[in-house]
Amino acid sequence: MKFFYKRYAPGVIRPVIPIELRSGGKRLRYEALIDSGADECILDAQLAQILGINYRRGIKRMVGGITGAEQVYYACPVVIGAGEWSFETLVGFMPNMPDFGYGVLGQKGFFENFVVKFDYTKLEIQLSARVKN
């Protein structure tokens, strides 16, 4: 499946794709950054609340970003849909998410389920489902 980088301003483009989150019969469409440097998928805790997830009952973890400051998040099971594929995985919900406008899709939870090809010159992202052994 092919997606295209999203333009935010002249010279500012990012590999942001539409996804669908599902939990307990609720669905939510959202945009997330495909981030090969992120260890896990982390989204704003407000999304968990919309989906009816009590994220504070999830697995408490810490993450440090580019600033080096650690922040708490809570890993909870959800279904992520991307294009024609969907899979259940743990997603981190961060209560005080910095205001980036989107969450991140990282190594665990996303890259482990897809082969991801970035083509910056064509502004394309190609996803194909990873065959599990």
Q: What is the pLDDT of residues 53-94, one digit of tens each?
A: 999 999 999 988 766 788 899 999 999 999 889 999 999 999
pLDDT digits (tens, 9 = 90+) for 85-128: 999 999 999 998 877 668 999 999 999 999 999 999 999 999 99
Residue 23 has pLDDT above 90, yes or no: yes
Domain ranges of the chain: 2-9+17-126
pLDDT at 133 over 70: no
Q: How far, in Å, CA of 59 to CA of 115, rounded?
A: 27
Q: Which of these CATH numbers, 2.60.120.260, 1.10.1750.10, 3.40.50.360, 2.40.70.10, describes 2-9+17-126?
A: 2.40.70.10
Alpha-carbon distance 73 to 109, whole Å? 15
pLDDT interval class at 130 (50, 70, 90): confident
Please name every residue paired with 94 in a beta bridge, in sequence order, or none if there are none. Answer: 44
Mean per-residue pLDDT for 31-46? 94
Q: CB under 8 Å to 6, separation ≥6 — which residues?
A: 13, 14, 15, 16, 31
Closest CA to 60 of 105, 24, 90: 90
Structure confidence at residue 55 (pLDDT)? 97
Mean pLDDT of 31-45: 94
